[in-house]
Amino acid sequence: MAYKVCIDPGHGGSDSGAVTGKHVEKTYNLDTALSCRDELQRYGVKVVMTRTTDKFLSLEIRCEIANQNGCDYFVSIHHNSGGGDRGEVIYSKAEGKGLQMAHKIAKEMKVDMGQTEVKEYKRLNKSGKTDYYAVIRRTNMPANIVEICFLDNKKDVEIADTLAERKRNGKEIAQGILKHLGIKVDEKGGEDMVDKIVLYHGDADVFAAIVVAQKHKCPMMKESDFKISGLKAKEVVQIGGKSEDANRFQTFKNAAKLL
Ligand SMILES: [Zn+2]
């Protein structure tokens, strides 16, 4: 049976969370969480998101979403503030699987996210009897809160200040969860790597690219889009844009050699 994991991007809507200059926690949390979801789904894990848009949700509702969906695990994604320099993973006083998952996530943060220090801990209310954080206390399943880095620490925020980094961070959190679930993780490959791709330079090269891509049974893309896509290919077949391609006829002649 497939595992079901609730991913909770902290804050949202009127509640921005921590804000330092251009770094807005609710947005960073969502960017990271969506990537985390995608990576988990790639391995067949069912994901329940508390939010996928910029909207406000109470802590109670977040817990209810996880509880009512019968999730096996709950992971809330945050970015910290208050001038520290580290990541944090918080687990419940029940420890057990929540503690084990925290270890796995913290390890990914250190090894693959470049977070120098990750503090793993539980925090109890003054009474010492219940968990301090509502999303850990009110959820019925093992739960972690992940604080990726401090937004108000110039050095620490460097691991999350671009969208590409936040996507990576989400992927790494997912890989920590997957490893905890005993699912084998393909660290390097995955959806960003294709065997072969045809890249065309300009719109005049599209037709030649279609023919070549069909022949090679591989996807095709505009060269400029490929450069910003983050995709990688083991083999690139280039159509047009080379110095010998003086015009589209020459491009087609060159493309014909690839058929
Ligand atoms: Zn937060």
Query: Would you state the pLDDT for residue 240?
Result: 87
How far is ligand 1, taken at its centre, from the CA of residue 45, in Å? 25
Query: Would you state the pLDDT for residue 259?
Result: 82
Query: Would you state the pLDDT for residue 255?
Result: 81
Q: Which domains does the chain have, with CATH numbers?
A: 4-180 (3.40.630.40), 193-257 (3.40.50.12090)
Angle made by CA atoms 61, 44, 32, in degrees to the nearest 5: 50
Query: Would you state the pLDDT for residue 245?
Result: 62
CB contact at 8 A, 135 and 8: yes
How far is ligand 1, taken at its centre, from the CA of residue 60, in Å? 15
Catalytic residue status for 147:
yes
The rounded average pLDDT for each run of 10 residues, N- to C-terminus, in the chain (259 residues) is: 95 98 97 98 97 98 98 98 96 97 98 95 96 97 98 96 96 98 82 82 90 91 82 86 72 81
How far is ligand 1, taken at its centre, from the CA of residue 144, in Å? 13
Query: Would you state the pLDDT for residue 186?
Result: 85
Catalytic residue, from 147, 165, 172, 223: name it: 147
